[in-house]
Amino acid sequence: MVLDEASSFETSEDLATCLTTSPIISESWRLCSVANATAARSFVAENGGGDGEVVYVALSGVQMAEGTESSWRRLVALESIGGESLFSMHRKREEEEVVMVHAAIFDLFSSFFVSFRNQMLPIMRNSKTKSIVITGHSIGGAIASLCSLWLLAYLQHISSSISVLCITFGSPMLGNQSFSNAILKERWGANFIHMVTKHDIMPRILFAPTMPHIAQLNSLLQFWQFSMANPSSLGNLAMQVTDRDKAELFSFVTTYLHHAATQEGVEGLFRPFGSFLFVSDEGAVCVESSAAVIKMMHLMFVTSSPDSSIEDHLKYGDYVNKLSLQFLNKKSSMQGIVPNCSYEAGLELALHSSGITRQQPAFEPAKECLKEARRAGPSPALKAARLAITLSKFVPYRAEIECYKAWCDQQSDQMGYYDLFKRRGSSKREMKVNMNRIKLARFWNNVVDMLERNELPYDFELRAKWINTSHFYKLLVEPLDIAEYYGKGKQKTNGHYIKHGREKRYEIFDRWWKDSVAAREENSERSKFASLTQDSCFWARVEEARDCLDSIRSESDTTKLALLWQSIDKFEKYSMELIENKEVSLDVLAKNSSYSIWLEDLRELRELKAKEKKFSNHFNPFMDGEVIP
């Protein structure tokens, strides 16, 4: 068996071990307990250790007393949080469902978002802050996920290197399938770790329609939240929910969880996202696949009972406290039963950690589930290595485009790279360059697709090789895409390139470069002009400026004229700064380039407007009825 195909269960076991034995989990739970007991409907924040590099923020699980029939199932569209757009790099396809989250939970989050943001902004501005851990128990866990999404979007927007980790305990489901997909595409899945105990009904409850059991659910919430706020005096659930009610609720959730796990019946509204750390009395196992998470939720839950399904929601502290010792003991206790085969050993460890025994009916289905969850095909690391080999095969295509650019710069017509390609004919050279442009686009689109399917390592876009290579590709080839767009007159039907024609891959590469250390340090002065213009959309801005200039010639509305001149002045200033900093290539300054012609047209128009103004001022006395002798 190939090594990378045999290592998935060992990785799952090692990840679970690492998480449960690290201080992050125990510190997160400790602060959750503080928030539950002292900060109802709010949150608490603490520095982790004395250096202030890690900041913990815990959202209280004591958030609401009861829900209504509609509030339990209602979803609301999620496009932005606190003014920060979400999932902007991955536009929704028409056939995809809108990204949606639980409406009541989003309302709770919104009710204190301003105070949360006001407390977080100084923390993020503090140069000592390196990591932020957002955590929460029960409903507080779902709210913590929304807080983390805002942080991720905000930190991405300001290109901060602060890392964000969200750890939830017994959190209910939060969003639909599109929400789960969008988080994967943004590469944020690894930022969310959801701890779920073997029996806890809370993370599973939204897989079932809750309308027949609203009263019981409200009683459960009141019991849980009273117990969280007063851990020394647990609430009396028996006075509010009978054993019969508990049994009916348990059976009801189990049935719909089975439907969700086996994809029977109507598809549920909610789907998991991020990594799930399933814990039992025997240990923990980490699962990432959404389908496998639902199946494991079901298979572990059917070994439970109505009472334990409710009591387990309040026992996360017990699991956290004993997991570390269990992992130390398990290695010796399983010595006699662990198979020699790496694959079988990893599978055996994962099954043991799930708490499902060989004697239970759920054992074989759980074994098959974990087998299916094993990553099909090569590992992300191996795929990245193969992608690098494929990239080397595309280098000649890029080199031919570079040679074409050098050839354009030497032509006597002095039009330059952009304009020659825009007005190209059907020569063999130009056809080959265009074909190379298309081949490179296919390669980079495939890279983006692999990222969105989570087939590449989580740190792929942080690797200097791929940041620099994608950036060079963008600077070299996007001017040709812009030339193709305007050469075919697409702006007349679709609108200008930057807003209506730019490919998603370029927006993603912009973000990689902006987020990289290399980009932030690229401020040294140049001694000569760049080989490639550092704004890959420069020619699209030239085309927009040319359109503004044409509009001024025919526009009579003074308000519109003022806006047009404002746009022209802004671009002129921007372009002059690029030239002064030598951040443009020589083809921009070619005598007959679109930019040089635009500058000349702008100069002539200004001279004409100045003459008109002078002429108008000279004849004003006659216009006012004055007679000059």
Dihedral class, residue 96 (left if φ above 0, else alpha if ψ from -120 to 50, else beta): beta
Residue 406's CB is within 10 A of a number of other CB atoms, namely 11
- Apex 231 CA angle, 230 and 232, nearest 5: 95
Q: Please, is 511 exposed, middle or buried when counting C-beta atoms within 10 Å of its C-beta (0-12, 13-18, 19+)?
A: middle
HSE (side-chain half, CA atoms, 13 Å) at 560: 10
Which residue is it, tokens 């897989």?
A: 207
Could you give the CA distance from residue 166 to residue 403 in angstroms, rounded to a whole number?
A: 49
Under 8 Å between Cβ of 366 and 351: yes
417 and 584 Cβ atoms separated by less than 8 Å: no
379 is catalytic: no
| SS3 state at 192 | strand
Which residue is catalytic, options 200, 419, 481, 515?
A: 200
Catalytic member of 7, 8, 33, 138:
138
d(CA 44, CA 27): 13
Order the strands of the 163-169 sheet from edge to edge.
43-48, 54-59, 131-137, 163-169, 192-197, 275-280, 283-287
* Cross-strand bridge partners of residue 75: 102
- Classify residue 141 by its DSSP letter: H
Catalytic, out of 102, 258, 313, 352: 313
Catalytic-residue membership of 200: yes
Which among 23, 34, 53 has a CA at the least distance from the CA of 140?
Answer: 34
The question of whether 138 is a catalytic residue gets the answer yes
Instruction: Look at the block and give the residue holding tokens 């040089």.
Output: 596
Contacts of 452 (CB under 8 A, 6+ apart): 90, 184, 185
Active site residues: 138, 200, 313
